[in-house]
């Protein structure tokens, strides 16, 4: 291997492989001899996981960086707008048991002021509806933007629901034709190491050895480079996050039916069901823990949810909750499922791909020496991120009052991290605040914890007292939010109208 990083080899062409190739290629566009060569090797024999329909608002910046227009993306991927998640039945399963985790931030980042003001000025509204524009009932089914707005700009924060297979095809087409990335449809058969422990090349069935300086493992759950070659241990988290399977389906929808603006996550006896509205269909999946219910029972839960009159084809998927002890080892970086997977709740996987490739693209090591230093920083930051995401996902389960064995077991202290146990104790007396989260760029900031914590009916026992001046300022901010909710309801098109308009363009 030369001292300089001149050739990056990405093994795997799923969402992880193509997003990685696209962001790296767009950020480092010089393909001359002095520039950076990027090759993606994708096996024609191994299909991609084919799910991953919910994204995070970061995806807008990622697509824009790669140079894909929003209209092109929406049309090609049958995509729709995602403005957050709705959780049905997570507290007690009763009819009125619903709460939202929207993408918009609350009017104030000061947790105590915000809590006090909510209780003072809008005790009858849910927290989400009181403190941010996005979840008002009058905005149901409305798009977060008007068609005339510039690409990726919205009146409210948003991400997308998308067809993962179509997105893979779009990314591949765009990245190979516009960004100069080399594509090899070939099966990697072996990894070749050099004497100092780095990877010098990968052997392929039809194209021989492909040499490189930096290798990205995007081989999915198989983790052929980071796991099989380097033997980096997988840290199992199934003792905390119990789900390990999903049975998934697609449901056709009438062409003029309303499209929901959020992922609907409905709790069931041993897991939950996602329901994602795309332009042409719904993607529905029953996530469950095989220790608590059988595959057959899960399939029945899914069929009952969809409605017994609806004909569906189902597909079973299994996964192991956990993540690698190191993501970057020598000259190999694991991105995507090879780095780990927790569960589909809150769509945290694609955002981790984006954050990983963003850090890599911005700090691309140019030499072997720099590689080692970057690896250390990367591993520290991402270990922190995975741990925090685990706590955040677990929060959805531990606050439930449901009485089925799965939910009761989820509340046992031995299934929680020390940190989460401590926070739950502290939050009995004060709200989750930005001081609880060390990073400036948390995947789930304090406000996400507030949406879930209050959404599940929890509140600190004592309310803070505030100066009248602070309360007056907040009152005005709340009123502005509620005014905006009415104005947006009057001015925004429905999801269906906006997306149908694009198809006709
Ligand atoms: C049930 C479920 C639901 C999910 N829902 C969401 C969601 O809503 N939101 C979200 O953000 N994430 C979700 N995810 C995760 C998301 O699907 C993945 O993070 C994302 O698709 C990235 O996958 P990947 O590219 O790492 O792996 P894969 O899609 O598995 O791709 C692996 C690639 O490696 C290639 N490969 C394998 N072996 C070889 C070889 N020997 N040689 C060459 N190439 C090889 C394959 O051909 C393939 O191209 C979900 C996951 C599951 C299991």
Residues 160, 78: contact at Cβ < 8 Å? no
Structure tokens given for 64: 């824009």
Domain ranges for the chain, please list them: 7-53+163-237+322-386
Measured in angstroms, how far is the CA atom of residue 462 from the centroid of ligand 1?
A: 45
Whole-number percent of the chain with pLDDT over 90: 89
Whole-number percent of the chain with pLDDT over 70: 99
Question: 162 CB under 6 A from ligand 1?
Answer: no
Question: 191 CB under 6 A from ligand 1?
Answer: no
Which residues fall within 8 angstroms of residue 299, CB to CB, at 6 or more apart?
A: 247, 286, 314
What is the C-alpha separation between 130 and 396, in angstroms, rounded? 21
pLDDT higher than threshold 80 for residue 505: no
Backbone dihedral region for residue 50 (phi beyond 0: left; psi -120 to 50: alpha; all else: beta): left
What distance, in Å, lies between the first and last C-alpha atoms of the chain? 50
Question: 97 CB under 6 A from ligand 1?
Answer: no
Question: 339 CB under 6 A from ligand 1?
Answer: no
What is the C-alpha separation between 501 and 111, in angstroms, rounded? 41
Measured in angstroms, how far is the CA atom of residue 336 from the centroid of ligand 1?
A: 7
pLDDT band, very low/low/confident/very high, at 504 (cuts 50, 70, 90) = low
E strand residue ranges, 346-477 = none
Instruction: Among 86-90, 109-113, 444-448, name the most confident range.
Output: 86-90
Which stretch of 255-264, 366-375, 401-410, 496-505 has the lowest confidence by average pLDDT?
366-375
Measured in angstroms, how far is the CA atom of residue 166 from the centroid of ligand 1?
A: 14
Strands 328-329 and 208-211, by their bridges, are: unpaired
Residues 87, 101: contact at Cβ < 8 Å? yes
For 316-371, write each residue's pLDDT tens digit: 999 999 999 999 999 999 999 999 999 999 999 999 999 999 999 998 877 877 88
Measured in angstroms, how far is the CA atom of residue 32 from the centroid of ligand 1?
A: 31
Mutate to test the pocket of ligand 1, among 163, 336, 342, 355 (most ligand atoms within 8 A of CB): 336
Nearest CA to ligand 1 atom 50: 52
Atom of ligand 1 nearest to the CA of 246: 1
For 174-229, write each residue's pLDDT tens digit: 999 999 999 999 999 999 999 989 999 999 999 999 999 999 999 999 999 999 99
Cβ atoms within 10 Å of 211's Cβ, excluding its own: 15
Residues 199, 330: contact at Cβ < 8 Å? yes
The pTM (predicted TM-score) of the whole model is: 0.96
Question: 10 CB under 6 A from ligand 1?
Answer: no
For the chain, what is the mean pLDDT? 95
Mutate to test the pocket of ligand 1, among 10, 41, 43 (most ligand atoms within 8 A of CB): 43
Question: Residues 187, 191, 194, CA angle at the centre, nearest 5°?
Answer: 150
Nearest alpha-carbon partner for 326 in 313, 308, 338: 338
pLDDT of residue 1: 45
DSSP sequence for 367-395: BHHHHHHHHHHHHHHHHHHHHHHHHHHHH
Atom of ligand 1 nearest to the CA of 47: 47
pLDDT of residue 2: 54
Return the HEC string of 399-461.
CCCCCCHHHHHHCCHHHCCHHHHHHHHHCCCCCCCHHHCCCCCCCCCHHHHHHHHHHCCCCCC
- pLDDT mean over 5-16: 96
Question: 321 CB under 6 A from ligand 1?
Answer: no
For 131-175, write each residue's pLDDT tens digit: 999 999 999 999 999 999 999 999 999 999 999 999 999 999 999
CATH of 7-53+163-237+322-386, picked from 3.40.50.300, 3.50.50.60, 3.40.50.1000, 3.40.50.150, is 3.50.50.60
For 453-473, write each residue's pLDDT tens digit: 999 999 998 887 888 888 899
Mutate to test the pocket of ligand 1, among 344, 347, 348, 356 (most ligand atoms within 8 A of CB): 344
Measured in angstroms, how far is the CA atom of residue 487 from the centroid of ligand 1?
A: 41
């Amino acid at each position: 291997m030369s001292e300089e990083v001149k050739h990056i080899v990405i093994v795997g062409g799923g969402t992880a492989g193509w997003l990685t190739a696209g962001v790296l290629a767009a950020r480092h566009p010089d393909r001359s001899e002095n520039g950076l060569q990027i090759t993606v090797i994708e096996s024609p024999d191994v299909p991609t996981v084919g799910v991953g329909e919910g994204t995070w608002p970061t995806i807008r910046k990622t697509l824009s960086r790669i140079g894909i227009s929003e209209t092109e993306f929406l049309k090609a991927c049958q995509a729709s707008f995602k403005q957050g998640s709705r959780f049905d039945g997570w507290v007690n399963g009763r009819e009125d048991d619903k709460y939202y985790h929207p993408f918009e931030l609350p009017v104030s980042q000061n947790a105590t002021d915000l809590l006090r003001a909510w209780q003072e000025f809008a005790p009858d509204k849910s927290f989400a509806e009181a403190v941010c524009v996005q979840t008002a009932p009058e905005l149901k089914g409305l798009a977060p933007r008007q068609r005339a707005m510039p690409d990726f700009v919205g009146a409210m924060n948003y991400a997308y629901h998308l067809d993962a297979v179509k997105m893979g095809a779009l990314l591949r087409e765009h990245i190979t034709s516009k960004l100069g990335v080399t594509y090899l449809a070939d099966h990697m058969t072996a990894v070749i190491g050099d004497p100092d422990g780095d990877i010098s090349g990968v052997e392929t069935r039809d194209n021989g050895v492909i040499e490189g300086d930096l290798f990205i493992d995007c081989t999915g759950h198989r983790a052929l480079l980071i796991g099989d070659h380097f033997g980096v241990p997988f840290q199992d988290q199934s003792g905390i996050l119990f789900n390990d399977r999903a049975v998934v389906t697609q449901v056709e929808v009438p062409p003029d039916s309303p499209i929901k603006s959020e992922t609907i996550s409905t709790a069931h006896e041993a897991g939950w069901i996602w329901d994602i509205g795309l332009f042409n269909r719904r993607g529905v999946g029953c996530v469950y823990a095989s220790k608590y219910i059988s595959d057959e029972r899960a399939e029945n839960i899914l069929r009952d949810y969809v409605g017994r009159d609806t004909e569906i084809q189902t597909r079973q998927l299994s996964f192991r909750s956990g993540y690698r002890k190191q993501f970057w080892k020598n000259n190999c970086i694991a991105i995507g499922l090879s780095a780990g997977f927790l569960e589909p709740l809150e769509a945290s996987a694609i955002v981790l791909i984006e954050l990983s490739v963003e850090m890599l693209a911005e700090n691309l090591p140019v030499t072997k020496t720099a590689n080692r230093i970057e690896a250390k920083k990367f591993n520290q930051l991402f270990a922190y991120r995975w741990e925090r995401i685990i706590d955040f996902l677990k929060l959805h389960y531990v606050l439930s009052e449901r009485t089925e064995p799965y939910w009761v077991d989820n509340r046992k202290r031995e299934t929680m991290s020390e940190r989460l146990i401590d926070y739950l104790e502290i939050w009995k007396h004060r709200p989750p605040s930005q001081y609880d989260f060390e990073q400036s760029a948390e995947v789930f900031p304090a406000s996400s914890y507030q949406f879930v914590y209050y959404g599940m009916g929890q509140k600190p026992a004592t309310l803070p007292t505030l100066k009248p001046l602070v309360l007056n300022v907040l009152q005005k901010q709340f009123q502005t939010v509620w005014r905006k909710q009415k104005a947006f309801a009057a001015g925004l098109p429905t999801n269906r109208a906006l997306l149908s308009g694009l198809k006709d363009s």
